Structure 1
């Protein structure tokens, strides 16, 4: 991987020289160089967890990197990777597990080009009043679930690490829209959520006189890569300089949003007025912990460790019953991540 990265950097040096010459010529010509039009689709609805993207759009961070960005909401990582592979947009935000599965099972020509979440926000929400304090306390309890939800697929591995007997869990099929209300009403003992959604779900619980406790999968050692930046093989091969600028702009957006959360959320809520300012601030603060942490300090922002990559692939392979002999390194190329 390091050799490939060196070759990529060498090629980009030539590309940058050409780009620099073009920019110099443009400085003496009337008008500016046209921006590259780029369409980014996220993984889900534009809640506060996406404030860095939408805020940076208004702030002009993408434009600074020569990109005229358009951002649209996603409908789940599986939908994002499928549409990306079919050419519906240029870049996407998708769970790395979905990228692995799409590549290993279906041969989709897509790759992760930069990690976002160093570990998964998968967690279970319980009420503090329930007395449930850890995963072992869930034995004999009712956990809500929706069809195909990855929380249930990953739970056997979590239970193994937590010392919980998964056969003693009662899974209750539930509509996703009613999951939180049923938990708050005490009709479910636990419900699967991403921990980054704690703020506004707990706000609803407190309005009913309750408080939510979070049981993160990661706390028992289930640390797998999650949200990532993705694009097609064709984009990487034919427009590596654009990929590098997109990555540079996006990681700059993350840094800017961490340092200026109020400004990021103000700009985000202007574009997405249905998101409340306090919900945005709460979600953005939670998201930052998945992007900036000891693991990203060790690997470098956007990069990965071989050990966590191997564990992620093992978890995804087991959860989705993938029998293909596949090298997970084929599903990612982080050679264009800035600063490496």
Structure 2
């Protein structure tokens, strides 16, 4: 599905917010007589976890930076990295694993910003069943999808002594979880717990990132060619995106952004969106760690090195790989969104 939004500039948030906008040193904000058109491919159907991008469209932030941004919604039949490789989109939403894959496969792409400082992946079980830690999950069946088995599961094996014999297939519905009070299943902090609550359960949530799993998620990836040839445009896109996110997380004046999300994805409703914003804030999914001092989208060499070495040590990447080629810090760490 492709949707092009052409929404006129609206007033930006002022006052009474958790975050305030700060000037970005060196940022060029053109008068936007002629807008640069760019396309951004998300990794799934529209949701609050994409809210900062939609807000930057709906509130006119991209236009203020001289950009006409087309948000292309992802889904089960789309692979954003393949669209980027084919040159069909300018930017994609991705994660730290894909960035390292670019290096391993010698592909001319890289990550230039990380919206989610914490990966939102969780394991969840039921309140009051005696499972109160990751250690308590050792030896118990865990419902895990295919992608989890090659991302966070190796981390859990090494960190907590999980074994592959524990794995049971996850069918992406909470029915089996609801039927078994001892069930443990994967999920996203902003999604599966909400579905369980709506069904009358009391889920107990364990955020894997809080146990040391330091994958960057909801990253912005782009081609090296675009970074070289349209550097100013790339910087403007990143700055506008980070402004969109810092405003969206306040939950104020975001009705237009949420309307676009619900228009693209009718399965979304106000309750789901409100829950997702609340848990993203309470868990520091976007604003935590380096983002608190460097601004939304922050990345550091130390964090990338730690992630690479951790995934190397569990056998996902070879020793000696030039992981530094997976990313660039040139476009972030400019304190966007901080007073």
- Coarse TM-score class (shorter-chain normalised): 0.7 to 0.9
User: Is 2:159 aligned against 1:166?
Assistant: no
Q: Deviations over 1:77-130 (max 9, x none)?
A: 9921222122010011101212212x1221121111111111212210111143
Within the candidate set 299, 303, 309, 1:304 is matched to 299
Residues in 1 aligned to 2:210 and 2:77: alpha-carbon distance in whole angstroms: 24
Using a 3 Å threshold, how does the CA distance of structure 1 residues 78 and 273 change in structure 2: closer, same or farther?
closer
Matched, 1:141 2:140: yes
Deviation per residue, 1:162-216 (Å, 9 max, x gap): xx3323852112333x3x211111187211112222552233342xxx2111111
Shift of 1:158: 3.0
- Structure 1 328/92 Cα, relative in aligned 2: closer, same or farther at 3 Å? same
Distance of 2:64 and 2:231 partners within structure 1: 18
- Give the 3 Å change call, closer, same or farther, for CA 184–83 of structure 1 in structure 2: same
Equivalent residue number for residue 9 of structure 1: none
What is the SS of the residue equivalent to 1:290? coil
Q: Which moved more, 1:48-57 or 1:274-283?
A: 48-57
1:45-194 to 2 correspondences below 5 Å: 45-75=45-75, 79-101=79-101, 103-147=102-146, 149-150=147-148, 153-161=151-159, 164-167=160-163, 170-176=166-172, 178=173, 180-186=174-180, 189-194=183-188
Q: Secondary structure at the match of 2:328?
A: coil
Which position in structure 2 is the counterpart of 1:315?
310
For the pair 1:327 / 2:322, whether they are aligned, the reply is: yes
Structure ranking higher in helix proportion: 1
Q: Residues 44 and 75 of structure 1 are in contact (CA less than 8 Å); yes or no, is this contact kept in structure 2?
A: yes
Aligned residues: 307
TM-score (norm 1): 0.80
The structural deviation recorded for 1:71 is: 0.7
Aligned twin of 1:28: none
Aligned to 2:215: 224
> Is the 1:265–1:281 contact (alpha carbons within 8 Å) kept by the matching residues of 2?
no
Q: Which residue of 1 aligns with 2:38?
A: 38
8 A Cα contact 1:199 1:283, kept in partner:
no
Structure having the higher Rg: 1
* Separation of aligned partners in 1, 2:331 and 2:77: 22
Give yes or no for contact 1:92–1:230 (8 Å, CA) kept in 2.
Answer: yes
CA distance in 1, matches of 2:76, 2:320: 26
Check 1:325–1:74 CA distance in 2 against 1; reply closer, same or farther (3 A cut).
farther
Contact 1:84 1:92 (8 Å CA) reproduced: yes
The 2-side partners of 1:37 and 1:107 are apart by 28
User: Which residue in 2 is equivalent to 1:290?
Assistant: 285
TM-score scaled by structure 2?
0.81
What do you get for the CA RMSD once the two structures are aligned? 2.8
Q: Is the 8 A contact 1:202 1:211 kept in 2?
A: yes
Bigger Cα displacement from structure 2, 260-269 vs 44-53 = 260-269
CA distance in 2, matches of 1:43, 1:77: 11
Q: Where does the alignment leave 5 or more consecutive residues of structure 1 unmatched?
A: 1-11, 24-31
Post-superposition offset of 1:287: 3.0
Q: For residues 287-310 of structure 1, what are the alpha-carbon distances to aligned partners after superposition, in whole Å with 9 as ceiling and x for unaligned?
A: 342111243123443222332211
Taking structure 1 as reference, are residues 43 and 100 closer, same or farther at Cα in structure 2, changes over 3 Å only?
same
Alpha-carbon distance between aligned partners in 2 of 1:220 and 1:259, rounded to the nearest angstrom: 27
